[in-house]
Amino acid sequence: MTLDEQIQRYARQLPPELQEKLLGILQELVLEMQRPEATKEQIAWNHFSLESAMRDMLDEPELYQESDVKVHFHRGGAAHPQIDFGV
């Protein structure tokens, strides 16, 4: 059995929603294969840049406390701010 046949055999066993997901994955792989090297290098650089920027973020000291917040938003519904004007 060829590789094409094996892929088709497995794909046919999937429900339609997973076949659509598989199609999306395959399309992404083809697009990635067709990208010029400069674009791949740019993507790699973007990942490196973001990782470097966020590297020590969790180790930063807390600059503010919850008591410093002047506008509070309630969870689970429309936002109704409670504004404290400090008066």
Average pLDDT, integer, range 5-17 = 93
pLDDT at 84 (0 to 100) = 59
Asked if the structure places residue 73 within a domain, the reply is: no
Specify the higher pLDDT residue, 31 or 58: 31
CA 28 → CA 13, 46, 83, distances in Å? 21, 18, 47
How sure is the predictor about 55, in pLDDT bands with cuts at 50, 70 and 90? confident
pLDDT at 77 (0 to 100) = 54
Q: Which residue is associated with the tokens 């059995």?
A: 1
Q: Could you tell me the two tokens for 31?
A: 């697009």
Containing structural domain, residue 10? 1-37
Asked if the structure places residue 50 within a domain, the reply is: no
Statement: residue 33 has pLDDT above 60 = yes
Torsion sign, CA atoms 48, 51, 56, 60? positive
Statement: residue 86 has pLDDT above 80 = no
CA 77 → CA 58, 81, 82, distances in Å? 30, 12, 14
Pairwise CA distance, residues 38 & 40, whole Å:
5
Domain count, the chain: 1
Asked if the structure places residue 66 within a domain, the reply is: no
